[in-house]
Amino acid sequence: MPGSKLIVISAPSGSGKTTIVRESLKRHPEILFSVSATTRPKREFEVHGKDYFFITKEEFKRKIQNDELVEWEQLYGDYYGTLRSEVDRALRSGKSMLFDVDVNGALSIRAQYPKETVLIFIKPPSMEILTQRLMKRGTETLETIRTRLERVPMELEKENEFHFCVVNDDLQTATDEVDRIIHNVQKEKK
């Protein structure tokens, strides 16, 4: 449907991506949110169907076989992916949709929907600050944090494949910059 934009925000884990996405959705209630599917355990503050669709590995593998995912990846022992039904919902409605996905997922969405997709990369100011943020979060083990940090160089290498890059050295400033990008994308689609 003309006018639909798929606004994909991606970043290394701990860069503030999810916080920025949540604030962007508050500022832009006209934009739909793409709820990803995952096999990882639900954190106590998360809501099924709002933060993620929490499903079993067997269910996820079935969705892969049935081509029900626009993109998917196995990260840290669990599967994450974007349901094709979520993207179709946005395109049918003519509304834009905001995605919170990893870098490879972002590039997969753009590969399938090149005209509709706008990619925004959230970059941490440094590896030291990123490490501190992951430690402070308190949601993962040291081993999980180490695994996440090992992936960061690959993610940073893909920054140039994104339309926009926002360095999150100050959350408010980064959120405002993403807001300006989204506002301009929304203005262009009209």
Q: How many CA atoms lie within 13 A of 75 on its CB side?
A: 25
Stated pTM of the model: 0.87
Tokens of 2: 């003309």
Cβ count near 106 (within 10 Å): 26
Per-residue pLDDT, 1: 42
Per-residue pLDDT, 190: 60
Residues of the chain with pLDDT under 50: 1
Do strands 97-100 and 52-54 pair parallel, antiparallel, or not at all (unpaired)?
A: unpaired
Domains of the chain: 6-189 (3.40.50.300)
